[in-house]
Chain A
Amino acid sequence: MEYTIVGKRLPLIDASEKVTGRALFTGDIEIPGMLHARILRSPYAHARVLRIDTCQAERFPGVKAVLSKNNAPRLKIPATLGGPRERIMFGEKVRYVGDEVAALAAISKEVAEEALKLIKVEYEELPAIFDPEEAIKPGAPIINPDKERNIAGSVKLGDGNVEAGFQEADYIFEETFKTSSQRHATMETHGAIASFDMTGQLTVWASTQLPFHIHRILAEYLGIPMSKIRVVTPYLGGGFGSKLHMIVEHICALLAKIAGKPVKLVLNREEEFSATVTRHAFSIRLKIGVKRDGILTAIKADAIANVGAYIYVFGPLWAAGDGLITTYRCPNVEFQGYSVYTNLTPAGGFRGYGNTQAHFAIESMVDMIAEKLGIDPIEFRLKNYKQAGDIGLGNTRITSSGLAECLAVGSEKIGWGLRNKLSKEEGPKKRGVGAACLVHRSGTLFALPDYSAVFVKFNEDGTATVLTGATDLGTGSHTTLAQIAAEELGLQLEAVNVIGGDTGTTPIDRGAFASGTLYVTGSAVRAAAADAKQQLLSYTGKKFHAAPEDFEIKMGRIYFKRLPEKWIALSEITKESSKAKKGAKAFLGKASFENPAAAHSFGAQFAEVEVDTETGQAEVLKMVAIHDIGKAINPLVVEGQIEGALQQGIGFALTEDPIIDKKTGRMLNANFANYMVLTTLDMPKIEVGLSEPMDPTGPFGAKGIGEPPTLGVAPAIANAIYDAIGVRFTEIPITPEKIFKALKMKKSSSQQEQ
């Protein structure tokens, strides 16, 4: 279907704010009288905080508020995303290097910095543990006294009978896969400003992906009614999941309360890397049984998710299990997973949310299976991948799938026929080609509350405003939501503006996560726009003695369907209805929308990798990513999401390696110099393509794109490396040293055989 505005490559509606540097991010905002806060952090991975003396700091000139366990609430802090209440602000123990011990607010950053040094803390160091597999053993130091064996939670999923399934199998494959605690490395660090006015009204400006969650839990934590709080999201400099948790807002609010002045807290880069949240590091033991003809008979997966010092969310463990056992058709499946504490930076949400880690495991193993059976890996996937109509992730039915097209288009673009051939070329540099499939669902139906509300109002001059609680992290959601509203209302895009992410003025939104903003909030926008349009056309109908259905709106004109030469400017109606001295009417559309389904976004990603066998360096020469996202509301935005995800995925696979000191538990590369996110020179040639099978459940047929493109990168690269040098890597990141060592071992073992 061709639309006027939906489906068009359009620039972001706020791009001009960003290219001129005018867009204000949280750290750019200045409130008169504002104080600056800093957090005192633990140098130990595990210690009791015996005594803390803040007297000198309190007396330091310019310091207006100090918080420590001596005066902070002893309440458990509510978490976002259905996470458990576990943390107490400035608790009796610190559980990781960087854990919060105290905070203060002063008239300037420099004064705050100086005063921080005056806080005296007496620690009693405790033994620390950094390996989750060691942490669950008896005798390991206990991190959370409320949990045995450092197990924060567990998940068991399954269907059928895996033992019987393995009996049926002709071949059984078993392997352990490990992934890292990747860092989000958003360019804008976490930050918030909190300000109480004299009526007790709290306003919080926060760099957050979920203002409404923050609003709710802050109200609960501070013990004030929600009507007394307003959370505003300024421009956001990236999130990728790191801003799904309440990291600084509550500290800011308490300091503001004590000081009686607005308080701003912006984390520095070292804190951002080591004291916010990370991706869950996983260890997945995967066992798959297959018949000779390639049909899967059993999938059994056991996983340990390293949650770090505190558990913020259970979701990634469940999502990983779901991904492992649901992606492929198999009657007998079982997943057992444990979330385990260690004295490391807490893990939280990160684009892909457990499914990325699961995909590394299963998409690697599928290649191993295909090779053994002598079946082309793409054929194998086409044969076994879940299809439209099947029950997919989160126990929801798959409503559309473009996977076959993605695989067909992608395999041609990468040159799939070069597999097994490139590696035969002479010279120390070996090339290989690898692929991976992916699937992720849009939204969180059945897993977490997944609804959004939207207002759409017509202004008196016939333009329209969308009031949505959605936050745009750079994902272009304000633009695509405006496109949906404009399309539905029949207006030009320029006639629609979006006010977003403000809990005081916009209705509740689910939050920007789980690839659901467009999919869920988009439908809410469409419904609210349809509602506003209906009201306007009802009024129009009354005016012309016709029914609302007799009219349609195009480009700001209301056309009489039966006689298309007859039209009236929409602005005439809105002007009239707002100026009438009797019979005046406002047109305000509203919708509270929960999607009854959870569309699955599919994709196929391909990598061509060159391995320098002398140094072990692997370079991705080319990546092809073909994604099935239903209708692309804005292909320019969709492509940008895919390209950005590839940068993160390649880093995840090859270069982003959080290095933790084995003795102290401190992150040694908490800076951009040594935590290697890809620069312009490290990116491969990229080809992106879209498959657009209409999905009956998404707005205009759209599905989510935020997370899917992260899923296939690491396994596609690992598969390409295998094609190039015949070595299978089951742990990422695959660093040059790992490749070099593996090649050396391969050489010496083949020499021994001779």
Chain B
Amino acid sequence: MWDEYFSPKSVREVLEILQSYKGQARIIAGGTDLIPEIKGQIRKVKCLVDISEIDLLKKIEIDGDTIKIGAGITHSEVAASELIREQAMVLAEAASAVGSPLIRNQGTVVGNVVNAQPAADTAVALFALGAEIEIVSQRATKIVPIEKLYKGVGLSKIDSTMEMATAVYFKSLKNNQGSAFVRLAQRKALTLPILNAAVVVTAQKDRFSEARVVVAPVAPRPLRSKKAEAILTDAPISPEYINKAAEAVAFEAQPRESALRGSAEYRMEMVKVLLVRALRLAIQRVKEK
């Protein structure tokens, strides 16, 4: 496995190390995805740069209506955060669903995005929140919408040998917004989902204004269903529209046959079921506010 391991105290140091190793060094945060991959020989790495000691990255902050979660924040911290529970419930729910307490204690929310696994629970929630990732390199700092960061299964556009994701930003949910995260799995812990879905809806009285509807793993990346969102835009809140939207997601989803997670047919049907449940729950939460 790796020959060198660094635990720098600043982002600048991280970037210096990455630069000097010319692509042979890789960032590790919690390592709950990365280490099993390296142990299982799916990834090879010469040098690891551990960012979990950088204090600057270990914050959850709110500035106006923008929430910022640093790259050092774990799933456990997000799940327990009152701020997130109150203002971005879908993310707290997703974080609580990841693996097990042991995994949640180390795995990071930002790491989940960078690792680019299609069913990563918190990444799915971040899609629904319309999140953006701050990426830092020696040359520049950029803020990129999360949807633009996926190249393929396990392949991020973020090059962890040259640049670093330092934070994720998203808007806190307003009073006319509700969110939900739902998950279908073969067991209640320690399991990757058969399907997970995250929705954020904006609604007034008995009409949707708009919605963000995300489902995974039905594609190499979490899928935002533009068709479903179109159906819900300015639509009445009714079982008819909720069902139509759910069906649209299923149609766009086209999940593949999986030996471990079920047939394409079953998963397609389940997309519908999950989306209906997610939308109903999200609406209920708007009404409760």
Whether A associates with B in a native complex is: yes
| B266 and A679 contacting across the interface, CB-CB below 8 Å | no
Please, how many angstroms separate the alpha-carbon atoms of A740 and B265 in the complex?
11
One digit per residue, 1 when the CB lies within 8 angstroms of any chain A CB and 0 when it does not, for chain B 185-200 equals 0111111100000000
Q: Which B residues touch A655, using CB under 8 A? A: 186-187
Q: Which A residues touch B188, using CB under 8 A? A: 679, 681-682
Is B273 interfacial (CB-CB < 8 Å)?
Answer: yes
Q: How many residues on A have C-beta within 8 angstroms of the other chain's C-beta atoms?
A: 23
Give the interface residue-count category, chain B: 10 to 19
Is A167 interfacial (CB-CB < 8 Å)?
Answer: no
Contact of B260 among A616, A669, A680, A740 (CB under 8 A): A669
Is A737 interfacial (CB-CB < 8 Å)?
Answer: yes
One digit per residue, 1 when the CB lies within 8 angstroms of any chain B CB and 0 when it does not, for chain A 645-684 equals 0000000000100010100000011001110101111100
Q: In the complex, how many angstroms separate the beta carbon of B44 from the nearest chain A beta carbon?
A: 15
Q: Which A residues touch B100, using CB under 8 A? A: 679
Closest residue of chain A to B195, judged by CB?
A615
Contact of A674 among B260, B262, B269, B273 (CB under 8 A): B260
> Assuming the A-B contacts A740-B266, A740-B269, are A673 and B190 also in contact, with contact meaning beta carbons closer than 8 angstroms in the complex?
yes
Scan residues 722-746 of chain A and give those whose CB is less than 8 A from a CB of chain B: 735-737, 740-741
| A679 and B189 contacting across the interface, CB-CB below 8 Å | yes
Q: In the complex, how many angstroms separate the beta carbon of B24 from the nearest chain A beta carbon?
A: 22
Q: Which B residues touch A669, using CB under 8 A? A: 260
Is A53 interfacial (CB-CB < 8 Å)?
Answer: no
Contact of A676 among B187, B262, B270, B273 (CB under 8 A): B187
Is B62 interfacial (CB-CB < 8 Å)?
Answer: no
Please, how many angstroms separate the alpha-carbon atoms of A655 and B188 in the complex?
11
| A661 and B259 contacting across the interface, CB-CB below 8 Å | yes
Closest 10 CB pairs of A and B: A681-B188, A679-B189, A737-B266, A614-B273, A676-B187, A681-B189, A737-B262, A682-B188, A676-B186, A668-B259
Contact of B259 among A614, A659, A678, A741 (CB under 8 A): A659
Q: Which B residues touch A659, using CB under 8 A? A: 259-260
Q: In the complex, how many angstroms separate the beta carbon of A588 from the nearest chain B beta carbon?
A: 50
Q: Which A residues touch B263, using CB under 8 A? A: 737
Q: In the complex, how many angstroms separate the beta carbon of A614 from the nearest chain B beta carbon?
A: 5
| B186 and A736 contacting across the interface, CB-CB below 8 Å | yes
Please, how many angstroms separate the alpha-carbon atoms of A366 and B260 in the complex?
33
Please, how many angstroms separate the alpha-carbon atoms of A168 and B214 in the complex?
62
Q: Which A residues touch B184, using CB under 8 A? A: 615, 617
A selection of 14 A-B contacts at a CB cut-off of 8 Å is A617-B184, A659-B260, A661-B259, A672-B190, A673-B191, A674-B260, A679-B187, A681-B188, A682-B189, A736-B186, A736-B266, A737-B263, A740-B266, A741-B266
| B259 and A673 contacting across the interface, CB-CB below 8 Å | no
Known: A676-B187, A736-B262; 12 extra A-B contacts, CB below 8 A, are A655-B187, A659-B259, A661-B259, A669-B260, A673-B190, A673-B191, A673-B192, A679-B100, A679-B190, A682-B189, A737-B263, A740-B266
Residues of B within 8 A of A (CB): 100, 184, 186-192, 259-260, 262-263, 266, 269-270, 273
Closest residue of chain A to B192, judged by CB?
A673
Residues of A within 8 A of B (CB): 614-617, 655, 659, 661, 668-669, 672-674, 676, 678-682, 735-737, 740-741
Q: Which B residues touch A681, using CB under 8 A? A: 187-189
Q: Which B residues touch A617, using CB under 8 A? A: 184
Q: Which B residues touch A673, using CB under 8 A? A: 190-192
Q: In the complex, how many angstroms separate the beta carbon of B115 from the nearest chain A beta carbon?
A: 15
| B191 and A676 contacting across the interface, CB-CB below 8 Å | yes
Closest residue of chain B to A651, judged by CB?
B187
> Assuming the A-B contacts A668-B259, A676-B186, A678-B187, are A615 and B270 also in contact, with contact meaning beta carbons closer than 8 angstroms in the complex?
yes
Contact of B187 among A614, A682, A737 (CB under 8 A): A682
Closest residue of chain A to B187, judged by CB?
A676
Please, how many angstroms separate the alpha-carbon atoms of A240 and B189 in the complex?
24
Q: Which B residues touch A735, using CB under 8 A? A: 186
Q: In the complex, how many angstroms separate the beta carbon of B102 from the nearest chain A beta carbon?
A: 12
Q: In the complex, how many angstroms separate the beta carbon of A710 from the nearest chain B beta carbon?
A: 20
Q: In the complex, how many angstroms separate the beta carbon of B266 from the nearest chain A beta carbon?
A: 5
Please, how many angstroms separate the alpha-carbon atoms of A1 and B266 in the complex?
58
Q: In the complex, how many angstroms separate the beta carbon of B271 from the nearest chain A beta carbon?
A: 11
Contact of B273 among A615, A679, A737 (CB under 8 A): A615
Q: Which B residues touch A682, using CB under 8 A? A: 187-189
Q: Which A residues touch B270, using CB under 8 A? A: 615
Q: In the complex, how many angstroms separate the beta carbon of A192 from the nearest chain B beta carbon?
A: 25
Please, how many angstroms separate the alpha-carbon atoms of A740 and B194 in the complex?
14
Q: Which A residues touch B191, using CB under 8 A? A: 673, 676
